[in-house]
Chain A
Amino acid sequence: MTALRRHRRLSAIWASEPGWKGWTSSVNHTDLGRMFLATSFFFFFVGGVLAMLVRAQLATPHSAFADAGAFSQFFTMHGTIMMFLFAIPTFEGLAIYLLPKLLGTRDLAFPRLTAYGYWCYVFGGSMLLVAMVLGIAPDGGWFMYPPLTGPLHSPGINTDFWLIGITFVEISAIAAAVELTVSILKYRAPGMSLDKMPIFAWYALVTALMILTGFPPLILGSVLLELERAFGLPFFQVELGGDSLLWQHLFWLFGHPEVYIIFLPAAGVISTIIPVMARTTLLGYGWIVASAVALAFLSFGLWVHHMFTTGIPFMGLAFFSAASTLVAVPTGVQVFAWIGTLWKGRPELHLPMLHILGFFVTFLIGGLTGVMVAVVPFDWQVHDTAFVTAHLHYVLFGGFVFPILAGIYYWLPLFSGRRRFFRLGELAFALIFLGFHGTFLAMHWVGLLGQRRRIETYDAETGWGTINLISSISSFVMAIGLAMVLVDLLIHAFVSVRAARNPWKAGSLEWASMSPPPPYNFASLPQVDTRDPLHGDPDLPNRLARGEGYLGDPATDRRETLTVSIGAARPDFMVIYPGNTRLPIVMAAVTGLFFLSILLKLYWVTPLALAGVAALAVVWVWRLGTQMDQGPQEAGRGVTLPLAGETEKSPGWWGSVFLLVANATFFGSLLFGYAFLWTVAPGWPPQEWLAPSLLEFGAGTLAAVIAMLALRFAIRRNRRHGGALPRLALALGATAVTALVFATLLVRLPPADGHAYAATLFVLGAYGLFHALLVGLMLAFVIARVRRGYASAVRVAEFHIVLLWTDYLAGITVLSLLAAHVPGVLA
């Protein structure tokens, strides 16, 4: 088969539907990555316009441009959009687009999940935009502190839009994080061991793991605050045993790692581009990986440094001040590694490099002011002033926007297959750089003079007018620069000339595919021996196109790729992907219906929407698998591999592992909240305890253990060709008992709106009940699959996925019942 015929054949297998309808049914990572990026930059535009409105208001003292209410909506939506609808989705979009190409594979682990995440992002973001257009946008600041955002002080629907819209969008982030983690660990080119992974993949892996553990505390906080607002469960009301500081802990447990979730992918872009621009290799690859991991963990130990003025004891402040200064060290290691890379190479000043230099200057200043605010007495002075606003913009714009602009210009020839014709980008960079520093240097200054953030006006006598005017004019210069980038990209799309493949002479695999890349990425998959495969083998793109790699024979109509062992990257399984489908967009719409029903208080719709999601989920997984054993498959280069569905640790198993990591973080955050309220909140102990019940505790624990054991016995019997059904039925029955125990617990609780104790146990019980019902649904599904012939002694993947969830249910059942009953016993 010639390379051209192979290309046509593979294109027919992998292509999305033509036209706009294809957007709704595509599950291809290249399409979805582009859609993510286009949508996130649309939100960047909206957030930018809001920033201009904020600066227009602050340009002069006593400005009549906007009243306090509108101003509050401007800055709240600006922060919310930039954080949740621009920065994180831009990382997701870039990673979704690039990673399979960088890793030398054909798609991400779960293509339909990519699409589902994208549509959740679009629908959730749209909810916030609709609120803004209707003038009922969130107005409590992007971190939504109660009691300001509680039902007493913010009775309108504004805050609900934030809590529900952002939680909806966070589904997208969790989906992408699971997707990226499994893809990086399992979906690499054979031979690409951990030490040969592209550095961007390391950063993306660390970032994805951070999302899995950083977002759940915020999701929990949003759930608790919405429960307080909608049903009066008093988690944050001091008079009823709650504490508004609990929100701050949960929010900043997410919020501080969020800064690094935004910075680390950008650092991955920098680490990728600098060696190419300097015509050398990255200095200190291992040190950079270690620094990224260190930064990720240390960032989880800093959350209280956002709460230095809340009355925390000195010793606690000192812990977090020390941790905050420590985080500068791994950041510094990376910066010095980049400088060293430039030093040992021969840097060329192309446009991406200009933005990298912009990053160095800006991020360095942001980092240094970060160390300043890590020092408690200084933080007390500048807390809630424009100085802090300026600091965070130096970190986020310097640490994310400049590198992302560098990345866009670096990968533009790959995106489009064209090279730039006009030189608008250089002028745009100059305007952005000068405008940014004019805006935020001035804001540091006026903050040190005492100007508060989030206040829409100031007196002329303060003397802040000129500084604010300079800041506002500079912000418009920056906005013009950013608009010019957009114009440059639009011109590029229509008026530019064809680029040669790999114009930067880079060594990474994304340049081994055609530009723009075909939907299948690689006609055959490479065997990798070095960190820069194209430098080691310049003819690799041609050899892959000729089908000399793995899976180079598209004899079947299947979308095929292979997975590898995590460490050494030896091929282990073959994966067959599902084709184009509108299931993800439909499921995202029904998920949206669930969130809308809560927002609009149409509670009768809520269970219908949940049932709809469950039914679609069953359809989703039912379409996988076969009713016959397939046996080992020919993968090319003399290798035969089993199908992933015929293994114990399938991609779905790995996906469940990482989803459960996020889930366990959510559960752990809930237990933390319980302990926090118990020890710190005034208004404890409650007047009434849950009456301990040995029967309830014993039945719940025993049932959970029986379900675990019965499923294990079922797996054993299935391996011996039959007899699994009775044991599966026993597991299902035991899970039903667990559900009954949680339901009984919920009924026996003291009124949940009477005290934070009962409210917390209510959430704990509801969480347990939800998981019992979920595991019950999974077991019923497996029973149906066994009966229909989708399982055999070889086709065992589904058993092991459900086993993970059954074990998890057992764990949370024991812990939840202990948390519910022990206090009553002690009392």
Chain B
Amino acid sequence: MKDVLRILLPLLVWLASFSAIYGLHGIGCAAGWPDVALAGSSLFRLALLAAWIAAIVLQVAILIALRSTRFRADEGFAYRVSVALAWVGVVAILWTLFPLATVAECRVMG
């Protein structure tokens, strides 16, 4: 079962991070964080950037752990698949959340 969990873990963490940051985005918009100036930016942008960086660090940590001798899968197949999916997790967290660095904060269509 541990090998199955190793295979599932990287993208489970991505999904949790992605959903949590989307939730944080909703809370920030509802609470008016974009209007709170902070360090030349806004509380909203900085809070989301901090969460994104934490999520990236977490995905990279999982990648390193799944390649390490302590946590890696014993069996070759599970090792290869889990490491491949850990890389997918890193790419996914970078790609799916990069808009928070570039896109307008809480503006809506119309």
CA distance A311 to B106 in the complex (A): 10
Cβ distance B94 to chain A, nearest Cβ, rounded Å? 10
Interface residue? A309 (CB, 8 A) = yes
With known contacts A194-B3, A286-B77, A290-B88, A318–B12 Cβ distance under 8 A: no
Contacts of A664 in B (CB 8 A): none
B97 near A298 (CB under 8 angstroms)? no
A680 near B108 (CB under 8 angstroms)? no
Kindly supply a per-residue 1/0 record for chain A positions 311-332, scoring 1 wherever the CB is within 8 Å of any chain B CB and 0 otherwise: 1111110110111001000100
CA distance A319 to B15 in the complex (A): 12
Cβ distance B42 to chain A, nearest Cβ, rounded Å? 12
Interface residue? A193 (CB, 8 A) = yes
Interface residue? B25 (CB, 8 A) = yes
Interface residue? B60 (CB, 8 A) = no
Interface residue? A294 (CB, 8 A) = yes
CA distance A566 to B2 in the complex (A): 9
A567 near B25 (CB under 8 angstroms)? no
A319 near B7 (CB under 8 angstroms)? no
B84 near A679 (CB under 8 angstroms)? no
Which listed residue, A287, A315, A566, A568, touches B4 by the CB 8 Å rule? A566
CA distance A294 to B97 in the complex (A): 17
A311 near B108 (CB under 8 angstroms)? yes
With known contacts A293-B81, A313-B108, A566-B4, A319–B22 Cβ distance under 8 A: yes
A301 near B18 (CB under 8 angstroms)? yes
CA distance A287 to B14 in the complex (A): 19
Interface residue? A297 (CB, 8 A) = yes
Contacts of B27 in A (CB 8 A): 679
Cβ distance B52 to chain A, nearest Cβ, rounded Å? 11
Interface residue? A622 (CB, 8 A) = no
With known contacts A316-B25, A319-B22, A567-B3, A294–B103 Cβ distance under 8 A: no
A290 near B1 (CB under 8 angstroms)? no
B25 near A313 (CB under 8 angstroms)? yes
With known contacts A301-B19, A314-B104, A326-B92, A380–B77 Cβ distance under 8 A: no
Contacts of B109 in A (CB 8 A): 309, 311, 314, 380
Q: Which of A268-312 contact B (CB under 8 A)?
A: 286-287, 289-290, 293-294, 296-298, 300-301, 304, 309, 311-312
With known contacts A194-B77, A293-B7, A297-B15, A322–B106 Cβ distance under 8 A: no
Cβ distance B102 to chain A, nearest Cβ, rounded Å? 8
Contacts of A534 in B (CB 8 A): none
B15 near A300 (CB under 8 angstroms)? yes
Cβ distance A49 to chain B, nearest Cβ, rounded Å? 39
Contacts of A290 in B (CB 8 A): 81, 84-85, 88
Q: Which residue on chain A has the smallest CB distance to residue B75?
A: A567
Cβ distance B73 to chain A, nearest Cβ, rounded Å? 9
Which listed residue, A195, A313, A675, touches B107 by the CB 8 Å rule? A313
With known contacts A194-B78, A679-B26, A312–B108 Cβ distance under 8 A: yes
Cβ distance A214 to chain B, nearest Cβ, rounded Å? 12
Which listed residue, B23, B77, B88, B100, touches A315 by the CB 8 Å rule? B100
Contacts of B7 in A (CB 8 A): 289, 293
Interface residue? B68 (CB, 8 A) = no
CA distance A607 to B75 in the complex (A): 51
CA distance A438 to B92 in the complex (A): 37
Q: Which residue on chain A has the smallest CB distance to residue B7?
A: A293
CA distance A719 to B77 in the complex (A): 38
Kindly supply a per-residue 1/0 record for chain A positions 760-804, scoring 1 wherever the CB is within 8 Å of any chain B CB and 0 otherwise: 000000000000000000000000000000000000000000000
CA distance A622 to B85 in the complex (A): 43
With known contacts A290-B88, A318-B103, A567-B75, A194–B11 Cβ distance under 8 A: no
Contacts of B100 in A (CB 8 A): 315, 319
B99 near A294 (CB under 8 angstroms)? no
Cβ distance A60 to chain B, nearest Cβ, rounded Å? 36
A287 near B84 (CB under 8 angstroms)? yes
Interface residue? B51 (CB, 8 A) = no
B96 near A319 (CB under 8 angstroms)? yes
With known contacts A287-B84, A290-B81, A311-B109, A185–B1 Cβ distance under 8 A: yes
Tally of chain A residues near chain B (CB < 8 A): 38
Contacts of A309 in B (CB 8 A): 109
B99 near A318 (CB under 8 angstroms)? yes
Q: Which residue on chain B has the smallest CB distance to residue A657?
A: B1
Q: Which residue on chain B has the smallest CB distance to residue A325?
A: B95
Kindly supply a per-residue 1/0 record for chain A positions 521-558, scoring 1 wherever the CB is within 8 Å of any chain B CB and 0 otherwise: 00000000000000000000000000000000000000
Cβ distance A170 to chain B, nearest Cβ, rounded Å? 22
Contacts of B26 in A (CB 8 A): 316, 676, 679-680
Contacts of A380 in B (CB 8 A): 109
Interface residue? B8 (CB, 8 A) = yes
Kindly supply a per-residue 1/0 record for chain A positions 53-71, scoring 1 wherever the CB is within 8 Å of any chain B CB and 0 otherwise: 0000000000000000000
Which listed residue, A289, A313, A322, touches B29 by the CB 8 Å rule? A313
Contacts of B80 in A (CB 8 A): 286
Interface residue? B39 (CB, 8 A) = no
CA distance A194 to B80 in the complex (A): 12
CA distance A380 to B110 in the complex (A): 12
With known contacts A293-B11, A297-B11, A568-B75, A315–B1 Cβ distance under 8 A: no
Cβ distance A804 to chain B, nearest Cβ, rounded Å? 15
Contacts of B15 in A (CB 8 A): 297, 300-301
Q: Which residue on chain B has the smallest CB distance to residue A565?
A: B1
With known contacts A195-B75, A566-B1, A315–B81 Cβ distance under 8 A: no
Cβ distance B69 to chain A, nearest Cβ, rounded Å? 18
CA distance A290 to B87 in the complex (A): 11
A315 near B95 (CB under 8 angstroms)? no
Q: Which residue on chain A has the smallest CB distance to residue B14?
A: A297
Cβ distance A5 to chain B, nearest Cβ, rounded Å? 40
A322 near B99 (CB under 8 angstroms)? yes
A185 near B4 (CB under 8 angstroms)? yes
Q: Which of A175-193 contact B (CB under 8 A)?
A: 185, 193
Contacts of A300 in B (CB 8 A): 15
Contacts of A195 in B (CB 8 A): 75-78
CA distance A286 to B81 in the complex (A): 6
Kindly supply a per-residue 1/0 record for chain A positions 558-591, scoring 1 wherever the CB is within 8 Å of any chain B CB and 0 otherwise: 0000000011100000000000000000000000
Q: Which residue on chain B has the smallest CB distance to residue A197?
A: B77
Interface residue? B50 (CB, 8 A) = no
CA distance A302 to B77 in the complex (A): 29
A326 near B11 (CB under 8 angstroms)? no
Contacts of A321 in B (CB 8 A): 99
With known contacts A297-B12, A301-B19, A319–B92 Cβ distance under 8 A: no
CA distance A195 to B4 in the complex (A): 11
Q: Which residue on chain A has the smallest CB distance to residue B83?
A: A290
Contacts of A322 in B (CB 8 A): 95-99
Q: Which of A312-359 contact B (CB under 8 A)?
A: 312-316, 318-319, 321-323, 326, 330
Contacts of A293 in B (CB 8 A): 7-8, 11, 81, 85
CA distance A566 to B97 in the complex (A): 35
Contacts of A568 in B (CB 8 A): 75
CA distance A315 to B75 in the complex (A): 41
A679 near B30 (CB under 8 angstroms)? yes
Cβ distance A761 to chain B, nearest Cβ, rounded Å? 20
Cβ distance B110 to chain A, nearest Cβ, rounded Å? 8
Contacts of A289 in B (CB 8 A): 7, 81
With A195-B78, A297-B11, A567-B4 known, 13 other A-B pairs at CB within 8 A are A194-B3, A194-B77, A293-B81, A294-B11, A315-B100, A318-B99, A319-B22, A319-B96, A319-B97, A321-B99, A322-B99, A566-B3, A680-B30
Provide a sorted-by-A list of 9 A–B residue pairs whose CB atoms are within 8 angstroms: A290-B81, A297-B12, A314-B103, A315-B100, A315-B104, A315-B106, A322-B97, A566-B1, A567-B4
Which B residues form the contact surface with A (CB < 8 A)? 1-4, 7-8, 11-12, 14-15, 18-19, 21-23, 25-27, 29-30, 75-78, 80-81, 84-85, 88, 91-92, 95-100, 102-110
